[in-house]
Structure 1
């Protein structure tokens, strides 16, 4: 809508103090000709916008001008309820609405507090994107989102495993983003189920609608489901010795439950080490994690874990020696 674009143009110019027609066109995704027409419309409407020439020129608005933005659009309000998570907003296609909502909030506060808001955004920034995170694509997310709003049933092509694809018909109740991973909460055969969105190969909307139960509480369900999921996972308990200087690094790098241990007898750690009990998921995950710390960790119990780590280390050394010998026979340039 043009009215929304005009408001966005005012807020953009006020935030950046001056923007060229090209910069406005890029941000608003319109042509420069449209920008000039919109600037003329703003001027006719009484907005004190003017053009300034020179290297730092562009369109400006008088500093004392404030736009009355007491109302937020529905699309903007819902973005505020997600806490400003950029990755989630981008996945849902709500990022533009989030930016305009934030602009409106900034310009609605008293003038003396406006500079504080600007300073805060330059001093604090929450980046919830994991390191080396690949570009996320969710081809079925838009279809699922539309079905959510319309209370329309979906038939999913869901990959339960590499070899098994099921086709449940689901009443979609909610979407949940947990650390950047999307999950669909829905009813299938009168039971609430959770589906990982990345495993949904297809989501086919049906004409049939469903009635969303008034008793469904998303936060309560998700808290209960995650707790049950965590407690139902297989656990592999291991006793480890960790060098004191590596303990903090180990705590930060270990996603499994950890507690300090006080073993006795021959399991008591020597000076310079601390004993911890870790609830790994499997022996394989324990072995891989221990090897990643090299000589900083020793596996104490169960004995089979120590044997597994030792065997894996010997195989690594043997492989490296074989590769080194092979390199000696490679002709040098």
Structure 2
């Protein structure tokens, strides 16, 4: 077995033992590893060897015999290593971040967030937590939809493993308005955008390297199967650059430069809440400002422009202007 798979498995073992208050048997640990890592098979002997390797590395993993058999758990020397010292201000910042990540509910990431949050609450002195609670009651975070990825949890684990091991995944995917199709993807990473999780993956059937990388919405996955096929990651791919080229989740190698004429009110909105870090606002006169912003597809720009109403006019490129014009005309026809 490849060394990285062994390291991933042993790291997961530590997480499972850390979460278990009363310990787990080898069979329980084996079953959890199979489920969480998307393994096709795993023998108890392998789990035992992993535990022995962790013990040899200095982790205090103890065992005892209870009614349900021999169980393993972390000893006191391990659980006390990561003692937390945190201030009320840091608690506020952490709790805000936790609430902003509500869309990750149902995933292993959310369980990690909740486990850490519970540890923090148990570790801080009562006085610090009371001080935090008084200030936190005055600050509210809202706007994130009530969304859960519990249904896609198994697929997310499969994709995570594929990213780490550079393996091809066969998916059943349903684009909006289209039937479910089966295809292969080469996953590079994950992105969270406007409360949704996207899989950033290459489509092997596309020859042009500049067009192969796509963003696949996890909500539209019906099934994901890890294949015994491996791909060589393209060293030229930089996910941060790929995701940062445009104002939304659509992305391309060469985004268009869009110019939009804004009224005074919309220009004020865009100066307060920018669409993109590279946007520019050039004032024409007291009533008009030109917004210049990168965008990869008219569909990602459309809802933003429509939200500004008649106070925004797309000037160029022509494709973007026509998309907005056609939509406005269709809306006008529907309301007549």
Q: TM-score range by the shorter chain?
A: 0.3 to 0.5
- Radius of gyration: which is bigger? 1
Of structures 1 and 2, the one with the larger relative CO (CA 8 A, separation 6+) is 2
TM-score by length of 2: 0.47
TM-score by length of 1: 0.48
